[in-house]
Amino acid sequence: MRVLKFGGSSVASAENIEKVYAIVKDKSEEGKLAVVVSALGGVTDKLIAAGKAAAEGNESYKDILAELEERHLAEVRKLIPIANQSAVLSQVKKLLNNLESTCEGVFLIGELSKKTLDRIMSNGELLSSYIISERMKVDGLNVSLKDSRELIKSDSSFGKAVVDFETSNLRIWQYFNQATNVTILPGFVASNDIGETTTLGRGGSDYTAAIIAGALNAETLEIWTDVSGMMTADPRVVSQAYPIQKISYGEAFELSHFGAKVIYPPTIQPVLEKKIPVWVKNTFAPNDIGTLIQENGNGSDVMVKGISSINKIALLSLEGSGMVGVPGFSKRLFEALAQESVNVILITQSSSEHSICVAINEADVIKAKTAIDSEFAYEISVKKVDPLSIERELSIVALIGDKMKNHAGVSGKMFSALGRNGVNIRAIAQGSSEKNISTVINEKDVKKALNVLHEEFFETPTKQLNLFIAGVGNVGGKLLEQLQKQQQFLNEELGLNVRVVGLANSKKMAFNEEGFDLSNWKAELDKGEAMQLAAFAKHAKAKNMRNSVFVDNSASEEVAKIYSEFLRGNISVVTCNKIAAASEYENYRKLKLEARAHNVSFLFETNVGAGLPIIGTLNDMVRSGDRVRKIEAVLSGSLNFIFNNFKTGVSFEEIVRQAQTEGYTEPDPRIDLTGTDVKRKILILIRESGVAMEMNDIASEPFMPADCLDGTVDNFFLKLKEHKLVFDDIYKEAAAKGEKLKFVATYDNGKASVGLKSVAPDHPLYKLDGKDNIVLFTTDRYPDQPLIVKGAGAGAEVTASGIFADIIKTVL
């Protein structure tokens, strides 16, 4: 004998009932079946609503009943051939008329007792079981309908009746000893010793099936629902969740208690006692393996079997010095809550006994507070106990697994994963059995937390990296090209799934939580909304996605000003924009500290030398205890290009125009030629060396006449032409000594400067070609021969590659 239970989603429509029939017909060929069915999906809620409306004197209950009648009659007409419909429709109408009479009585007296509500609610299962049994008879299946109220006897605790197992087991055994091949039974319903209808409470249909399976020592209990078994996490929240093939009773109970709604733990107690295996199967994919729940569910050493959560939680905290060393406080607290039927979901108490916290459903907060305030009124009045502290909008996230107790470090791994993603833990609870590790977190963080933990414990070592990118011009465009090209490599070799989920330029911004198609990002961005920097930051934070990175490819001061917003929102910042790292030292330091405080990254390798590993190399030296004594550097690719190509026969004005045309300089070349950009770069290196310095501490040695800096860009070029002889003389003076002109940034034991210098052939700066950069670090460990970093220091391609490298560093 096997027992099958079909839930409300499985029998929600004629189409679904046909699927149920196919499963039952197939299973009936293997032996006797007891088939327990729920009400059609959503019907029980409608019946409760009708009863409550009637009790309130609201005639809308008639509309609800009319809707229910129309629905059930319509399903009969779809399921039963016309020749057989008359009798079935008549019986369905009879049941519905009885329901209408009951509701009319409630309406007239204006009262809805638990007893009457049970009678009303029972109609859902009575109707569905009758209709389904008649459908199965159509094709000649050897099937009979048995009213569960005749088999399952209970006390008169209406709404959640207590089963009389001795009587019920005997009745069930006697009936099924002579039953037909297939018996259809309504779930959820029972009756007391005088025949009054009772219901079995939440999960009642599961309970009916389990009672029957236990009484008959069934081979298996099969629970058919709309998912292919119990999942590693809620698939509506975690897209990567997958079915668990085998699980123990204990693990199943824990997962179900913490939000997995496939089964309700108390309902399958009868099969647990008999060690009857339970299969959770999918009505809509019957060939899927499903989940087998049995005494020893762990067929492997998998330590975590699932992750679950409960939302709408409140945390109640009772604190006070008067609690320390005084027995009975916990007892009084729980008794006060129990008297108000407030269910305690989680408990945690400090070892100092100074505080005790309990998690309850948010809906129970008012009556819980009233009860506790009343119980501890005296202690609060004399300040031995503080007034009850209440935190709302919380959730519980739990890791479940029998074998967690055999693996050290599970809690650490859990808390580390949550901490890296800015999920604040408000309370922790772990039973001595170590099957469950529960954390209380903010409700807004649940989706991120579940995905982070699923990624950490269930998926192949692949991390999802979510990018919000501002600036899609030369550098940003190249970055997107590189990301697209490397997607497969990153996934296969580094275990990274990099998705661009936010894009913005100066005019538009767009978001795609599933990730933009990087071959078509321009079209998607064009369809976006008007760009507003504050709104972009707000949206990125509101998404609250794990492993998030804000990438700034602009040179905007306004964008640099909002880095703090991202860092405080647990979003890493990667930027080629030098403004933030070269701003006031206090702001630079604040950003570094905020990144550390929120466990995210603030990376700006490309601020100096584009894709060259200059800052990274400097950081490694400083962290390992080396001390920088001197820095000499050519840090402007544009200026190096200009002075490498400035020679006899070519005017300085011509070569600057060429550099502007070829994109080596800013649109206004004075930004480069005044050395402002170079000052920012050397300042950043000095700060990363561990020295607090400001921009105005760096001496600047101008080489251009002052009037070149006035007026427009066009006027600037006119002045360069006017001062041709000045620039020619500078070149000739260097050439006469066999030296080359280089714009050099220097830091030497606390003093820094930038300016144009002529360097001799034996100096490492002399042979610097094209737009290359070079940095010489003289340190305690490199006192005689400086450590040199040299290479291409400008260009969209290499800058994008440097940004790309920083992005990867945020998670590796």
Q: What is the DSSP letter of 609?
A: T
For residues 601 and 468, give the distance between their C-alpha atoms in angstroms, rounded to a whole number. Answer: 14
Q: What is the CATH number of domain 306-457?
A: 3.30.2130.10
Question: Over 70: is that where the pLDDT of 121 sits?
Answer: yes
Q: What 3-state class would DSSP assign to 396?
A: strand
Reading the block at residue 760, the tokens are 């001799």
For residues 483 and 62, give the distance between their C-alpha atoms in angstroms, rounded to a whole number. Answer: 61
Q: What is the DSSP string of 514-557?
A: T---TTSHHHHHHTSEEP-HHHHHHHHHHH--TTEEEEE-S--H
Question: Over 80: is that where the pLDDT of 430 sits?
Answer: no
Contact call for residues 236 and 199 (beta carbons, < 8 A):
no
* Domain layout of the chain by residue ranges: 2-225, 306-457, 463-600, 614-794
Q: What is the DSSP letter of 267?
A: G
Bridge partner residues of 307 (DSSP): 399
Determine which one of 5, 478, 543, 681 is catalytic: 681
SS3 string, 41-109, reads CCHHHHHHHHHHHHHCCCCHHHHHHHHHHHHHHHHHHHHCCHHHHHHHHHHHHHHHHHHHHHHHHHHHH
Q: Name the burial class of residue 110, with classes exposed (0-12), middle (13-18) and buried (19+) by CB atoms within 10 angstroms of its CB.
A: exposed
End-to-end CA distance of the chain: 55
For residues 573 and 595, give the distance between their C-alpha atoms in angstroms, rounded to a whole number. Answer: 9
Reading the block at residue 793, the tokens are 């220091």
Question: CA 605 → CA 467, 578, 641, distances in Å?
Answer: 17, 10, 22
Q: Does domain 614-794 correspond to CATH entry 3.30.360.10?
A: yes
Contact call for residues 799 and 555 (beta carbons, < 8 A):
no
For residues 703 and 726, give the distance between their C-alpha atoms in angstroms, rounded to a whole number. Answer: 9
Reading the block at residue 777, the tokens are 């670090």
Contact call for residues 531 and 555 (beta carbons, < 8 A):
no
Q: What is the DSSP letter of 446?
A: H
Q: Which of 55-64, 130-139, 467-476, 638-647 has the lowest mean pLDDT?
A: 638-647
Q: At what angle do helices 676-688 and 614-623 cross, to 10 degrees?
A: 30
User: Over pLDDT 70: what percentage of the chain?
Assistant: 97
pLDDT (0 to 100) of residue 466: 95
For residues 289 and 17, give the distance between their C-alpha atoms in angstroms, rounded to a whole number. Answer: 21
Q: What's the angle, vertex CA 33, arms to CA 31 and CA 38, rounded to 5?
A: 160
Question: Over 70: is that where the pLDDT of 713 sits?
Answer: yes
Question: CA 373 → CA 317, 368, 377, 410, distances in Å?
Answer: 12, 8, 5, 38
β-pairing verdict for 278-282 and 306-319: unpaired
User: Over pLDDT 90: what percentage of the chain?
Assistant: 68
Task: Return the CA Rg of the chain.
Answer: 37
pLDDT (0 to 100) of residue 351: 61
CA 390 to chain centre: 25
pLDDT (0 to 100) of residue 445: 92
pLDDT digits (tens, 9 = 90+) for 498-531: 999 999 999 999 999 999 999 999 999 999 999 9
Q: What is the DSSP letter of 154?
A: B
Q: List CB contacts of 706: < 8 A, sequence separation 6 or more.
A: none
For residues 799 and 638, give the distance between their C-alpha atoms in angstroms, rounded to a whole number. Answer: 14
pLDDT (0 to 100) of residue 259: 57
Please state, rounded to an integer, the average pLDDT across all residues of the chain: 91
Question: Over 60: is that where the pLDDT of 630 sits?
Answer: yes
The CATH architecture to which 2-225 belongs is 3-Layer(aba) Sandwich (3.40)
Q: What is the DSSP string of 462-524?
A: -EEEEEEEE--SHHHHHHHHHHHHHHHHIIIII-EEEEEEEEE-SSEEEE-TT---TTSHHHH
**Helix locations, 110-221, DSSP H:** 114-138, 165-176, 204-216
Per the rule left: phi > 0, alpha: psi between -120 and 50, beta: everything else, 583 is: beta
By C-alpha distance, which of 177, 134, 808 is closest to 498?
808
For residues 564 and 584, give the distance between their C-alpha atoms in angstroms, rounded to a whole number. Answer: 14
Reading the block at residue 352, the tokens are 């100092």
Question: Over 80: is that where the pLDDT of 326 sits?
Answer: no
> Sorting pLDDT into bands at 50, 70 and 90, what band is 460?
low
Contact call for residues 423 and 518 (beta carbons, < 8 A):
no
SS3 string, 594-655, reads HHHHCCCCEECHHHCCCCCCHHHHHHHHHHCCCCEEEEEEECCHHHHHHHHHCCCCCCHHHH
* Residue 740 is a catalytic residue: no
Contact call for residues 380 and 406 (beta carbons, < 8 A):
no
Looking at per-residue pLDDT, the higher value among 111 and 352 belongs to 111
Reading the block at residue 310, the tokens are 């409960």
Q: Which of 145-154, 158-167, 233-242, 516-525 has the lowest mean pLDDT?
A: 233-242
Question: Over 70: is that where the pLDDT of 169 sits?
Answer: yes
Question: Over 90: is that where the pLDDT of 258 sits?
Answer: no
pLDDT digits (tens, 9 = 90+) for 644-686: 889 888 899 999 999 888 877 878 888 889 888 899 999 999 9
Reading the block at residue 482, the tokens are 């590189």
The CATH H-level superfamily of 463-600 is: NAD(P)-binding Rossmann-like Domain (3.40.50.720)
pLDDT (0 to 100) of residue 261: 64
The one-letter amino acid at 470: A
pLDDT (0 to 100) of residue 640: 86
Reading the block at residue 685, the tokens are 């290196």
Contact call for residues 132 and 20 (beta carbons, < 8 A):
yes
Contact call for residues 685 and 633 (beta carbons, < 8 A):
yes
Q: List CB contacts of 5: < 8 A, sequence separation 6 or more.
A: 35, 36, 37, 38, 187, 205, 206, 208, 209, 221, 222, 223, 224
Mean pLDDT confidence for 181-202: 95
For residues 252 and 255, give the distance between their C-alpha atoms in angstroms, rounded to a whole number. Answer: 5
Say which residue the tokens 């009672």 belong to: 211
Reading the block at residue 54, the tokens are 């009637």
Mean pLDDT confidence for 277-288: 94
Reading the block at residue 394, the tokens are 């919380």
Report the number of secondary-structure helices (H) and strands (E) in the chain: 28, 29
For residues 688 and 616, give the distance between their C-alpha atoms in angstroms, rounded to a whole number. Answer: 10
By C-alpha distance, which of 421, 383, 381, 416 is closest to 399?
416
Per the rule left: phi > 0, alpha: psi between -120 and 50, beta: everything else, 241 is: beta
Q: Which of 52-61, 77-86, 338-347 has the lowest mean pLDDT?
A: 338-347
Buried b (16+ CB within 10 A) or exposed e, 347-374: ebbeeeeebbbbbbbbebbeebbebbee
Say which residue the tokens 């005044």 belong to: 674
Question: Over 80: is that where the pLDDT of 301 sits?
Answer: no
Phi, psi of 325 (to 5 degrees): 75, 5
By C-alpha distance, which of 583, 607, 565 is closest to 694?
583
Reading the block at residue 409, the tokens are 């470090």
SS3 string, 685-701, reads HHHHCCCCCCHHHEEEE
Q: List CB contacts of 351: < 8 A, sequence separation 6 or more.
A: none
Contact call for residues 735 and 696 (beta carbons, < 8 A):
no
For residues 808 and 802, give the distance between their C-alpha atoms in angstroms, rounded to a whole number. Answer: 10
pLDDT (0 to 100) of residue 303: 79
By C-alpha distance, which of 764, 752, 639, 624 is closest to 685?
752
Question: CA 174 → CA 169, 275, 357, distances in Å?
Answer: 9, 22, 50
For residues 188 and 210, give the distance between their C-alpha atoms in angstroms, rounded to a whole number. Answer: 11
By C-alpha distance, which of 607, 665, 639, 670 is closest to 744?
639
pLDDT (0 to 100) of residue 461: 66
For residues 11 and 283, give the distance between their C-alpha atoms in angstroms, rounded to a whole number. Answer: 9
